[in-house]
Amino acid sequence: MKNLKHDDPQILQLILQEEERIERTIDLVSSETHTPKSILEEMGSVLNHKTIEGYPGKRYHAGCEFVDVIETLAIDRMKELFLAEHANVQPHTGSAANFAVYFSVLNVGDKILAMNLSHGGHLTHGHFASVTSKCFNFQHYNVDLTSELIDYHALAVQAKEVRPKMIVAGASSYPRLIDYERMSQIAKSVGAYLFVDMAHIAGLVAAKLIPSPVIYADFVSFTTFKTMTGGRGGVILCRKKYADEVDKAVFPGTQGTSAVSNIAGKATIAKLAKEANFINVQRNTLDNAKLLAAELAGKNYRLVGGGTDTHQVVVDVTTKGLSGSQAEKTLESIGIITNRNYIPKDTGKRASGLRLGTGPISVRGIESDYVIQIANIIDKALMEKDNQEVLRELKRNVLDICKQFPVYK
Ligand SMILES: *Cc1c(COP(=O)(O)O)cnc(C)c1O
């Protein structure tokens, strides 16, 4: 990065430090990944220059002959990968994708039924702090407080009362599978659209390891940087009959020009997703999550939802006398990166959960015995959080594992 060294050595220094941090820590953040170098190359390329208002063949600027091919490749590959009738690859993020889905077929003030944030939903599912809640009349469904799973019967009853125009399925923090067929029956029974937000699990769906919502949902959105392992961005899939509305809702509805560099990343990850390496990583992601869950349960940690079917393991750390924040900070101090999360029993400001995801460790090749070691390290750190000597030792153990599994060789 010799040019950056000249123009802004301070930022270069911080990038190098960030690289070092990534190599020296174990990333268990459920919404992160380590992106292939090829995609980082695309993101740092001249593709950043082009302003592309509109869609391939229908642009508002000249000079799009090459970027049109890139966007068309991204669209076609995403459609093929997910067996979707239409794809829009322009959303800047998952949130932007969600805004566009809402504005594609709904009017301001329409009713939407979505999952409560502390029960697993996302901010863009009508949380009061999100602008989505100011535009639409969101009502929320909860999980059953005992099983911490969606109660489809209760949801069907609630849908009949609320009569929403759209039902949102999909979550930020819900480690079990969602029954999309049941969701679509519920949506149909009240004449609502079904929108599935598969932000976290798109990679697992792409590898065909967990069920796909695409045939059941009118709209599907996802992020390309969680289990999907591509660069930052969002994608919308939908039925052909909504293609025009979705495209108009993205541009000019809610975005201006999109980032061609990120669209290229989406094209590349959709290509890589059909290859053996990607599918292996996703399989390891699932196996690692199951193993991590079993190890922690064996040490008497209470798992939200009773376990995992995905990359996520959500732990109620209060049963071990900690808050989510204390657990997050303790683990950060030894180089294990996680995040605190609300869980269904939370009603106040304090998060009782620690959300773990096995995407990034699986990308760097960590598996089996090493996952058991990580579970042991997590437990020991949390149980001895005030013992600096133990924490120092655990930090060395984390570093040893990191050195054996470099993120970028
Ligand atoms: C991560 C996530 C999003 C998108 O978030 P961005 O940070 O805007 O990309 C949307 N929905 C769910 C359920 C998510 O987990």
Res 50 pLDDT > 90: yes
Distance 223 CA to ligand 1 centre (A): 7
Chain position carrying tokens 């970028």: 408
Residue ranges of the domains in the chain? 40-272, 280-404
- pLDDT (tens digit per residue) in 363-386: 999 999 999 999 999 999 999 999
Residues with CB under 6 A from ligand 1: 31, 93-95, 98, 122, 124, 170-172, 197, 199-200, 223, 234
Tokens of residue 219, six digits = 């709209």
> Which CATH superfamily, name and number, covers 280-404?
Aspartate Aminotransferase, domain 1 (3.90.1150.10)
141 CA to centre of ligand 1 in angstroms:
18
Dist CA 231 CA 38 (whole Å): 10
Q: Is the entire prediction scored with pTM above 0.95?
A: yes
Choosing from 122, 130, 250, 266 the residue with most ligand 1 atoms within 8 A of its CB, the one to mutate for a pocket test is: 122
Domain 40-272 CATH assignment equals 3.40.640.10:
yes
Question: So what's the pLDDT on residue 72?
Answer: 98
360 exposed, middle or buried (CB, 10 Å; 0-12, 13-18, 19+)?
buried
Average pLDDT over residues 283-294: 98
Q: How far is the CA of 64 from the centre of ligand 1 (A)?
A: 30
Write phi, then psi, for 39 (nearest 5 degrees).
-75, -35
Q: Residue 211: exposed, middle, or buried by beta-carbon count in 10 A (0-12, 13-18, 19+)?
A: middle
Q: Atom 1 in ligand 1: which residue has the minimum CA distance?
A: 199
| Mean pLDDT in residue range 266-284 | 98
How many other β-carbons are positioned within 10 Å of the β-carbon of residue 408?
A: 12
Average pLDDT, stretch 296-321?
97
Instruction: List, for residues 230-257, the tens digit of each pLDDT value.
Output: 999 999 999 999 999 999 999 999 999 9
Would you state the pLDDT for residue 37?
97
Cα–Cα distance, 313 to 297 (Å, whole number) = 10
Task: Find the 278 Cα to ligand 1 centroid distance in Å.
Answer: 22
Average per-residue pLDDT for the chain: 97
Average pLDDT over residues 300-328: 97
What percent of the chain stands above pLDDT 90?
A: 99
Measuring CA to CA, how many Å separate 169 from each of 113, 133, 188? 9, 17, 14
Mean pLDDT confidence for 283-306: 98
Write the DSSP assignment of 28-79 as a string of letters: --TT-----HHHHHHHTSGGGG----EETTEESSS--HHHHHHHHHHHHHHH
* Ligand 1 centre distance from Cα of residue 1 (Å): 31
In this model, does residue 25 exceed pLDDT 90? Answer: yes
Query: What digits encode the pLDDT tens for the residues 120-166?
Result: 999 999 999 999 999 999 999 999 999 999 999 999 999 999 999 99
pLDDT reading at 409 higher than 90: no
Q: What is the pLDDT of residues 167-182, one digit of tens each?
A: 999 999 999 999 999 9
Q: Which atom of ligand 1 is nearest to the CA of 31?
A: 1
Q: Mind listing the pLDDT tens digit for each residue in 101-127? A: 999 999 999 999 999 999 999 999 999
Q: Is the pLDDT of residue 307 over 90?
A: yes
